[in-house]
Structure 1
């Protein structure tokens, strides 16, 4: 039994979640401030992967980053970077595809924070940066944890996008979901079952952890 696809999926999910924490937190905070047309348009693009078929997103990423097209050729010539059929391409596609799972919960959390929290920090002489890291972020820890875990779980089970842009290269782009598809195609249901059970178990533990964490975080003092 080849477990490389499982480890590759976990590696992809960890890297994607880390990158989206760095990107998603400031984007969510910016979107949670006063709304304007530009922010609405940007949020629409961020949210589209939730409703857009993965194969559509994967197809356009494949076209954009193909060495036969301008962007892909430019990346290859000037940065020696090939995103099509590579693990780096999987990371890029996963960041785009899982972005709403990170940004949406965080934006909602920032939006529902009382303004008085930040204002009180300012009156105590804290800067905006100090207030953000020392006051605002600690107050959205449950949402931050939920966003990170959901992003990890969503990336772990990606299929359409990673297949379109990464193909099926063993040890490079063949993640667990693709290994399941391959096993079914070759009538190896036992192998597919092992991959599926492992992903099922990991996802179950992740979701259970979210529920337990959130329950403890908002536990009533009267219980």
Structure 2
């Protein structure tokens, strides 16, 4: 009976992969006209669009993962209260479509936005700045969840040995924490990069004159009904996801099978906890601003 249930589960997984991944990918490739491949790549706007996408995505990914790392550290390496509440509030932006983040930024910081009119300061939202800010709001919750999971399963015995040897906190971070998280951190970076690189919602709303590949794909398919060119751009956008998949496979095959013998012991430090409270509360406030803008205007 157990074997039948196991085989049935495997068949369901295979069927799900075929329906959700393989068939759509085949359909995407079949829509490509060979003559359009050269047209897309040789077009004068293709390389500037690729540059725009890579530049905005690279900056947004670095900032998003950095912010997520800091928040995950505050939640898992300090003695602040309401950790679960903070974690939930940090992940709320993940439940909102990316285009809504762009609209929220327009309502707040656009040329006629609420904060722009109140402070009489125009930050120049439309362009790289808007794309980067919106992409961070959209992507950092996913990076935060992945990094939180990594922090939870760190073994404290290594840190105990380091303390006995007289290593400072800074030395422990660079010799223990980062090496332990190296493989997983690479996966987080690739996952965040893929999310931002393939997103069209934020650049569509706040990109201004900056055209990215996902926006170009959206224009070709939805606006001009050119499915062949859209499929070519779609395949290009899948490259980071494919690389991320290979990296995850390598990390799984090369990972160790060690278990956590002792959970992390957090020492008392009032100054650290106060700073963490400030960071967490400020982040919740900033993350909530686009949502509050919708509520106020509605």
Mapped pair 1:69 → 2:113: yes
Q: Partner residue of 2:56? A: 12
Shift of 1:95: 1.2
Mapped pair 1:49 → 2:96: no
Mapped pair 1:142 → 2:183: yes
The root-mean-square deviation of aligned C-alpha atoms, in Å, is: 2.3
Mapped pair 1:208 → 2:252: no
Max Rg structure: 2
Mapped pair 1:59 → 2:103: yes
Q: Partner residue of 1:87? A: 128
Equivalences for residues 32-43 of structure 1 within 5 A? 32-33=76-77, 34=79, 36-37=81-82, 39-43=83-87
61, 67, 75: which one pairs with 1:31? 75
Answer yes or no: is the 8 Å Cα contact 1:180–1:192 preserved in 2. yes
Residues 11, 180 of structure 1: alpha-carbon distance in 2 compared, 3 angstrom cutoff: same
Q: TM-score normalized by structure 2?
A: 0.64
Residues 42, 67 of structure 1: alpha-carbon distance in 2 compared, 3 angstrom cutoff: farther
Residues 132, 175 of structure 1: alpha-carbon distance in 2 compared, 3 angstrom cutoff: same
Shift of 1:143: 1.4
Equivalences for residues 97-108 of structure 1 within 5 A? 97-108=138-149
Answer yes or no: is the 8 Å Cα contact 1:28–1:107 preserved in 2. yes
Q: Which moved more, 1:131-140 or 1:68-77?
A: 68-77
Residues 10, 107 of structure 1: alpha-carbon distance in 2 compared, 3 angstrom cutoff: same
Shift of 1:73: 4.7
Q: Partner residue of 2:237? A: 199
Residues 40, 164 of structure 1: alpha-carbon distance in 2 compared, 3 angstrom cutoff: farther
Q: 5+ residue gaps in structure 2?
A: 1-42, 259-298
Shift of 1:35: 5.7
Answer yes or no: is the 8 Å Cα contact 1:149–1:210 preserved in 2. no
Q: 5+ residue gaps in structure 1?
A: none
Q: Partner residue of 1:131? A: 172
Residues 163, 183 of structure 1: alpha-carbon distance in 2 compared, 3 angstrom cutoff: same
Count of residue pairs the alignment pairs up: 212
Alpha-carbon displacement from aligned partner over 1:143-162 (angstroms, at most 9, x marks no partner): 11111110111111112233
Q: TM-score normalized by structure 1?
A: 0.84
Q: Distance in 2 between matches of 1:210 and 1:74?
A: 47
Q: Distance in 2 between matches of 1:11 and 1:74?
A: 31
Q: Distance in 1 between matches of 2:119 and 2:191?
A: 31
Q: Which moved more, 1:54-63 or 1:210-219?
A: 210-219
Q: Which moved more, 1:52-61 or 1:191-200?
A: 52-61
214, 217, 220: which one pairs with 1:183? 220
